[in-house]
Amino acid sequence: MRFPSAFTVLFLVTIAVWLLAFVIPTGAYRNEDGAPVPGSYERTDDPLTFGGRLMQLFIAPVNGLYGVMNDEGFIGPYESGELYGAAGVFLFVLAIGIFITISMTTGAIDNGVARIAQRMSHRGPVLIAVLMVLFSIGGTTEGMAEETLGFYALVIPLILALGYDRLVATGVIMVGAGIGVLASTVNPFATGVASDSAGISIGDGIGFRLLMYVVLVPIGIWWVLRYAKRVKADPSASRVNSVEGDEELRTSGLGDVAELTARQKLVLTIIGLTFAFMIFAIVPWAQIIDGPNAESYAWQLDWYFPELAALFLAMSLVVGLIGGLGEKGLTDSLVRGAGDFIGVGLIIVLARGVTAIMNNAEITGTILNSMEELVSNTDSGVFGAVMFLINLPLAFLVPSSSGHAALAIPILAPLADFAGVSRAIVVTAYQSASGVVNLITPTSAVVMGGLALAKVRYDQYLRFVLPLIGILIVLCIVMIAAAASF
């Protein structure tokens, strides 16, 4: 027995929502500037026949990809109006998947981390902190998750050679990258998808998310170092048992690590500059500095998913050519990268199809209306805390951060308008809750796969990380509630 995949969960959610549309009364809000007007909800006549409802279920994935919303708010592939489907996000996910895969194929990232580890191999606590910062940067910028699985073979021998245990190695990778994802700043799979679903820029709220990153990452490092120090002083305090071959790994450490080539150094530079430029291109500088209604500066790019997809596709070619992959290596890595991330893209499309069913059945407004009175009479800080808590069970049911965002944010984001809170708070609350749950959920391939590679039992990992999870939940609630109050 195992928990079903995100695809199965979304299929069941699609059927459940389609059936609920027969029961939930239809209704709609009056919209101004893309946001529902509080207090304007009115009941409407049922817009669909039974045959029409069957067609909505049948065509939901198509609407999720390239459905168009017409002037009356109906979504369909042949309508005229604004694109509702996730085609832009879908291509962006494939583009960044290609970029990450080609970058990894050059060997620059693996060799770069190995070189840092080797240079600091005699300073255990400093090395643990540096590696966790590196993994957290990967988490906050590109949602580093499955990519971490390739680093266990590198980190475990080093950590054992320094006198620690396998649980320390697991914490370095899983907690480091996991808290980075929890405090995502420009993570395209969490922040990006959620911002698109909320109808805001990925740069909205980036200042607060950066603050969360600066606060929470050191706490994760402290927690791992606290345990590592205890194991170093008294090996019997280890929560895990040694496995066959550990003694050999302790004596071998990293072994010989090749020097970074000029090509690899240039590739690492380009990777860093690409993500730095992405941040520059998406941040609404004038609106942050001069207020939300300010006109954009002349040099402000205001890029969104189409431009970002083009950026990562172009830089994938640059990295592949500089990395010496050649024509065949480049094209093979491109296809493999797109294939590795097609599952994420399809999850986003399926989740967007669910919201298309709700929209065309005109039950979204009714659901919002049922929550309006609840949130409109609450303090802003309470609203922020409630948004975080609501997303905790949703994150367990849909462990894919992008699928969670595409499914929940279209419903939750308008609630911020009723409560007088920025929609960026809803995005931050969602991604924080998703990040916390995905540090421990047994439905995550990253957690269970990482533990299998580290040869650490799930119950051993839980005993190690659950107190930290409690600290993170409390801090997230306090910080999000405080941000919502300002």
Please tell me the pTM assigned to this model: 0.74
Structure tokens at 474: 């409390």
Sign of torsion, CA 154 155 159 160?
negative
| CA 467 to each of CA 170, 220, 284, 291: distance values in angstroms, whole numbers, following the listed order | 16, 11, 37, 39
The CA–CA distances, whole Å, from 77 to 219, 364, 465 equal 48, 20, 46
DSSP 237: G
> Own/partner pairs for 330-337, CB < 8 Å, 24+ apart?
330/102, 333/98, 333/101, 333/102, 333/105, 334/98, 334/101, 334/102, 336/101, 337/94, 337/97, 337/98, 337/99, 337/100, 337/101, 337/102
Amino acid at 66: Y
Enumerate the domain spans of the chain.
Answer: 6-485
CA distance 210 to 221: 17
Single-letter amino acid code for the residue at 401 = S
β 42-43/68-69 pair status: unpaired
Q: pLDDT digit of tens for each residue in the chain (486 aa)?
A: 565 777 887 898 899 999 999 999 998 888 776 667 777 888 988 888 999 999 999 999 999 999 999 988 899 999 999 898 989 888 988 998 899 899 989 988 878 877 777 777 678 899 899 999 999 998 998 788 777 876 787 788 788 878 899 999 999 999 999 999 999 998 888 898 898 888 888 888 999 999 999 999 999 999 999 999 999 999 899 998 888 777 776 665 555 667 888 999 999 999 889 988 987 887 778 876 776 567 889 999 988 789 989 999 999 999 999 999 999 999 999 999 999 888 888 888 888 898 899 889 998 888 878 877 677 778 899 999 999 998 888 887 676 788 788 778 888 888 898 888 999 999 999 999 999 999 988 767 688 888 888 888 888 999 999 999 999 999 999 999 999 998
Tokens of 484: 């919502």
